[in-house]
Structure 1
Amino acid sequence: MVLSKDTNPAFSVYHIGALLLHVLQGRDHREVDFIEAYNDLNSIQSVSMQLYMFAIDWLYVLGIVDLGPKLSIRKCF
């Protein structure tokens, strides 16, 4: 389940995905290093690697990001 009534909304895939989009929009380059984006996201809100990867998966399913070469995230917007 993507949303749960027992989970803090700040730790939902939707919220983390929105924060990640904010991080990606702030970049001039189309591709962003996977770990660098994770560190930037953690400067906004502390997020586990597992939740970060779930958010990337969610954005990938929506067609908003794609995986680039050498562990990078490619913006599709």
Structure 2
Amino acid sequence: MLLPDNIHPTLSIYYNGSVVIKVLKLKAKQQVFELYQEVKDRNDMSFSTFMLTLDWLYLIDVATVNEDGWVELCS
């Protein structure tokens, strides 16, 4: 759910997207699992939530994932 009304806000895709973006701003290009590990260290995010967040960031043209598994911010 993007904007939840019955759960804690830190469980929303908006919040988790901001965590992923912050990590990507520190290192602009990362492998998917490396990025997940860094995000998990900052925020206790499940892998399924992480993948849903990456999907959302891709859909709104904030991040891309190439065939080799590298995630980077769009310019």
- TM-score for the superposition, normalised by structure 2: 0.90
Which residue does the alignment assign to 2:13?
13
- TM-score for the superposition, normalised by structure 1: 0.88
Moved over 6 A (4+): none
Q: Distance in 2 between matches of 1:73 and 1:7?
A: 29
Which residue does the alignment assign to 1:69?
67
- Comparing 66-75 and 52-61, the one that deviates more: 66-75
> Out of 36, 39, 42, which is 1:41 matched to?
39
CA RMSD of the aligned region, Å?
1.2
> What stretches of structure 1 of length at least 5 have no aligned partner?
none
Partner SS, residue 74 of structure 1:
strand
- Which string of whole-angstrom CA distances, capped at 9 and with x for unpartnered residues, describes residues 21-61 of structure 1? 0000001xx42100000000011110001110111111111
Partner SS, residue 7 of structure 2:
coil
On the 8 A contact 2:24/2:72 being kept in 1, the answer is no
Q: Return the letter of the residue paired with 1:10.
A: T
Aligned-residue sequence identity (percent) comes to 23
